[in-house]
Structure 1
Amino acid sequence: MAWWEWLLDVCGAFLLLCVLYGAGLIVRRRLLSRHGGTFELSHRHRTAAPERGWVLGMGRYSGERLEWFRVFSLSPRPKRTWDRDELEYDGRREPAGAEQASLYPDHLVIRCQSPEGVVELAMSVSSLVGFQAWLEAMPPGTDWNRR
């Protein structure tokens, strides 16, 4: 085989892998959202540098937990989970500087307190309303004074 035939074979294999990866992402997204309750949710994974460390993802409410999945991963398992009774809403702000390019358009950055420390998430205004309702809708018998 000539060198250009090898090059065409490598390019074809690479293109096939890209198409399979894209199809896998679509199938995964459909499977995760088939029961509803999913929304675009970014998570600030690394907090060392200001305005940096954001990872795009999607969130899903699963009973008493909020699950966060990376967008470009094929894993069916959530990368992070937060229990409802461990999260405390601490405020919101507009994305600043480099955050505007890192996040979905029209998303707000929200700040929550958890036992592990500060959790920063970014979501749309309508998702924020649902998130706040989910946080406040704890089951009967919840000790509201424990915080």
Structure 2
Amino acid sequence: MHTVDLVVVCVAVALVLAMIAILARQRQMLRTMGALPLAVQRGNRWLYGVGRYEGAELRWYRAIGVGTRPSRVLRRGQVEVLGRRGPRETERGSLPPSAIVVECRADGEMFALAIGESAYTGFVSWLESSAPA
């Protein structure tokens, strides 16, 4: 085997192992209590990930990545729901037809989340609940 062939095989194996590690991380995060699949809109793009409720925070972790820190943290009491809707025609290729798009504002920033029906009910309940004393 030539050196170039060996390098190509090593790079391919490393890429496969990285993808396995990312998928294993996602699977483990979704098994955690209080976790849900959650997409966040940035500009015209939807970024997929996992949301996890931790007390008065909803922590969002990007789907593609190996980091252990959340990419975004929403604090209960700072999030205002402006409305909900189904995916727009331009979003149909990016979001499942059953997704609920929740338009929100926090700290003066407008953003949207895409979640399932039961996750929406849980999200609204979480927002309306009071923080533990």
Larger radius of gyration: 1
What amino acid maps onto 2:106 in structure 1? S
The structure that is strand-richer by fraction is 2
Aligned to 1:144: none
Q: Which runs of 5+ in 2 are unaligned?
A: none
Q: 1:86 aligns with which of 60, 78, 93?
A: 78
Q: Distance in 2 between matches of 1:21 and 1:41?
A: 22
Shift in Å, 1:32:
3.1
Q: Does 1:72 align with 2:68?
A: no
**Secondary structure of 1:110's partner?**
strand
RMSD between aligned residues: 2.0
Give the share of equivalent positions with the same residue, in percent. Answer: 32
Give CA-to-partner distance per residue, 1:83-130, whole Å, 9 cap, x none.
001001121111113311122452111111212321211011111011
Aligned to 2:6: 9
Aligned to 1:119: 111
Q: Distance in 1 between matches of 2:24 and 2:11?
A: 20
> Does the 8 Å CA contact 1:32/1:76 hold for their aligned counterparts?
no
Q: Does 1:54 align with 2:84?
A: no
Q: 2:38 aligns with which of 19, 41, 60?
A: 41
What amino acid maps onto 1:74 in structure 2? V
Aligned length: 133
What is the TM-score of this pair, normalised by structure 2? 0.87
Q: Does 1:98 align with 2:95?
A: no
